[in-house]
A and B are shown apart, each in its own frame.
Chain A
Amino acid sequence: MIDSLCHQAREGDIAVAGLYCDFLVQQEQTVANIMRAILKQLIGNGIIAVYLREEFKRGVIGFGGRRIRLYELMKLVKMAIASLRQVFICIDALDECPLRQLTGFLMSLRDIVQECPRTRVFLTGRPHIRENIKRYFPRAFVMHFTPKTEDIRNYLEKRLHGDNEPEAMDNDLRADIMRIILETMSDTYVGKSGASTPPIMYTHQ
């Protein structure tokens, strides 16, 4: 997703900032830290860079200096976004953010898109956080992703192709693996009727 957007953005003054949340390091995923990681990817070489360099030289920031506060971070993020033609912010597995931080992050995100409406935000997560997102972005596009049988087949073929022990594989075993996993996955994700079942896709207005 990030690479796809980046690929399309090559000819413009467009930035793509991405972040992967992980419940294993929840303590790191504070609103301020997420914003720091986003800012880090948007600084460029413009006014924000000049400001930070000056502050660093004066010892105001840096490891010996003070910590930058959230409201300052927000100001810098918005300035960085405003200096670009368009910014895409992609956050993966948002459900793995602690709930308290999730709320704060969504509020901060809303603040950003209200001031910088050219920003595009792509979020992924488990379905249960949909209501959290809709609370702050009532008109957000919402899509429910269910892999197609073809997606599963492509994935399996790549995995089998990269098998670490190819000598242990033959055509029959390969065919059995494909058949059994596809049947199981189809029951789980695609539906009992199998390959022709379309994926669930809905959008809330």
Chain B
Amino acid sequence: MEHTTHIREIPFSGRGVDCGNVLEFFNDTLPQSNEDEQIMRWLSPIEPVNRHHSVSADRVDGVGGWVLETSEFREWRNGEGGADRTVLFCSGNPGVGKTYLRWSPGSLREVNITDSLKY
């Protein structure tokens, strides 16, 4: 985790307008100096979103995307392995690109998590 040199808070309130998804908090920002922001800053100084933006900028479409289309990944994502198969560990040597796995844009339409929840 990088030391943050600026504050970029994840919004505390107001779910995504379109989907009610906490995901939206990951990328959005709130104006400074409100109560929620103070609570968030108190809760954790770590700002994963800063590192995430940096990683996102360096990714290349489709690099390593095949990992995310394997049966193992789909089983894990869809919960097909049951309650004791909730963890997927992607191992690899330094610098091979584990951090930068990315779906090809065209493959995104193939799956929909919300249709495949098992329990």
Q: Interface on A for B, CB 8 Å cutoff?
A: 1-22, 24-25, 28-29, 33-34, 36-37, 39-45, 49, 52-53, 56, 61-63, 68, 84-86, 92-93, 109, 113, 117-127, 129-130, 133, 137-148, 151, 154-155, 158, 189, 199, 201, 203
Contacts and interface: CB of A to CB of B under 8 A. Distances in A.
Contact of A41 (B25, B39, B55, B94): B25
A126 B92 contact: yes
A37 B48 contact: yes
Interface in B46-99: 46, 48, 51-52, 55-56, 60-64, 66-68, 70, 72-73, 75-77, 79, 81, 83-94, 96-99
11 contacts: A1-B101, A14-B21, A17-B26, A37-B44, A41-B48, A125-B91, A127-B92, A143-B70, A144-B92, A145-B64, A147-B97
Contact of B38 (A62, A127, A145, A189): A62
B90 A9 contact: no
Contacts of B72: 141, 143, 201, 203
A36 B10 contact: no
The 7 closest A-B pairs by CB, nearest first: A15-B22, A12-B114, A36-B44, A145-B92, A117-B83, A140-B87, A37-B46
Nearest to A13: B20
Contacts of B77: 5, 120
Q: Size class of B's contact patch? A: 35 or more
A39 to B, nearest CB: 7
Is chain B's binding surface mostly helix, strand, loop or mixed? loop
A109 B88 CA distance: 13
